[in-house]
Structure 1
Amino acid sequence: MPAGAPRPGAAAVPGAPRQTGPERRTLVVGRGISVQGSVQDAERLVVEGTVESSMIQASELQVTHGGVFRGGVEVEDAELAGTIDGTLTVNGSLTIRSTGRLIGKVKCRRLQVEDGGQITGQLEMITDGAPARPTASEAAKAEPAAGEGSSEAP
């Protein structure tokens, strides 16, 4: 039967549920669901509801329209259509959609903000090969030492 033929072929396809090598470990927090605490070993976090956590590390973060993330997160790439309130570090690309709101502190290497997207707080760009910019007090201490060899007595 033609209907039976595709089934055996489909079972042999590498997309069978048992094969998880190419698949990413994904945690989806659905609409109307609230999660508090830590998340471990998730490669991809999709927030449609509310997540509160002190620090999460993942490869990818997606906060959908209506989703809320409160706390700290460090990821490779992030897409924001909902709200993040806290600290966000993105070592790759951060995309803030037109409905996205970021409140707090963000560090990222690449940034794209659609018309209507909002950032309220502190923004720092990560540059290749350079550590984060020193604070004003650290810079003030470093300049005299670099500018004049022995300006201070021991």
Structure 2
Amino acid sequence: MARPPFPQTPNATPAGAARPGMPTTGAKKDNDRRTLVVGRGISVQGTIKDAERLVVEGMVESSMINATELLIADGGVFKGEVEVEDAELAGTIDGTLTVQGGLTIRSTGRLLGTAKCRRLKVEDGGQVSGQLEMITTPKPEAPAAAAPAAAAPAEKPQTP
């Protein structure tokens, strides 16, 4: 006889829904991404691979993570090195953070250590301690977008 699935708890958050204290961004639907959520009271140490979106509500310690999006909830802690496209901090990051796009530090967010980002937004109350560097080099274009610019120029008509 098969076991029935685990019952829904009254305060459970459906997959892809907004989590308390963690605003969502709308680039791609949350349920379309490979998402790892480290819940409150949970600690993870080691390597995290193939997660497009990392949501930290507990604690994560990792030597290096590459992801598209990093969200650290109020009360969440990330220690280590991470490189992402976009990051939003309502909790704490202690280590090295490289953000190719935008970094948002919410009013409860704390950034300790070293960070590099292209765009920065810090809400009133957000804290930055350590070294912060702005990335000023242009973002590399996708090969398909660069192809038309590389087309050969049209020949000039010859005049007799």
Scaled by the length of structure 1, what TM-score is found?
0.69
Compute the RMSD of aligned alpha carbons: 1.5
CA displacement 1:22-75 (0-9 Å, x = unmatched) = 710000000000000000000000000000000000000000000000000000
1:95 Cα deviation from its structure 2 partner:
0.2
Q: CA deviation at 1:86?
A: 0.2
Find the counterpart in structure 2 of residue 99 from structure 1.
108
- The structure with the larger Rg is 1
Tell me by how many angstroms 1:129 deviates. 3.5
How big is the shift at 1:121? 0.2
The correspondence for 1:62, drawn from 64, 71, 74, is 71
Aligned residue identity for 1:33:
I
2:90 maps to what in 1?
A: 81
Q: What is the Cα deviation at residue 128 of structure 1? A: 2.7
Unaligned runs of 5+ in 1: 1-21, 131-154
Report SS of the residue matched to 2:136. coil
Q: How many residues align?
A: 110
Q: Give the CA deviation at 1:109.
A: 0.1
Instruction: Report % sequence identity.
Output: 77
- Say if 2:90 is the partner of 1:90: no
CA distance in 2, matches of 1:41, 1:126: 25
- Once the two structures are superposed, residues 78-132 of structure 1 have per-residue CA deviations (whole angstroms, 9 ceiling, x without a partner) of 00000000000000000000000000000000000000000100000001339xx
CA distance, structure 1, for counterparts of residue 91 and residue 77 of structure 2: 6
* Greater per-residue helix proportion: 1
Distance between the aligned counterparts of 2:95 and 2:109, measured in 1? 14
Q: What runs of 5+ residues in structure 2 fail to find an aligned partner?
A: 1-30, 140-160
